Amino acid sequence: MQAEHVHHLDNPNATTPPPAIDLVASVPAPPVPDDAEVMTILVTLPPGSEGNPPHRHTGPAFGYLIKGEMLFELEGEPERVIKAGEAFWEPGGDVIHYQDANNLSDEETTFVVTMFGVRGQPMLIPVSEEELEARRDRRAPRP
């Protein structure tokens, strides 16, 4: 998921070192809804928090874990642990976001996420138990 980008321009008048910029993640042509509203939020999960119940978003979300560990699971993908300094993304739309739990029982987990959603619709759309059951075959095997 890496691409070549220019993140620094030479400044011949600079008196200080240039910024240090590292590409953390890149997603080519994500599915952004028409008339999207873009929001950036800071999320803090208390120790041991289960996070949100299964849900979906109307558009893609791009996140970066600032501290802690998050148990993250999207429909069709195995659950995984994202650690501080790592990025994550999800396409939104029809894909169910099963987990965004704090993987630590004794520390907060904090992340920032930028979401592209359909204006006027909720950021999180809950998924019913009936739909979860109907789509059970789309969930990756669990450990």
Cβ atoms of residues 90 and 98 within 8 Å: no
Ordered by where they begin, the domains of the chain are: 36-138 (2.60.120.10)
Binned average pLDDT, 10 residues per bin, the chain of 143 residues = 62 88 87 92 97 96 98 97 97 96 98 95 95 96 83
DSSP code per residue over 17-62: PPPP-------SS--PPTTEEEEEEEEEEPTT---SPSEE-SS-EE
What is the amino acid identity at position 32?
Answer: V
Structure tokens given for 74: 């999207």
Q: Does pTM surpass 0.75?
A: yes
CA atoms within 13 A on the CB side of 41: 12
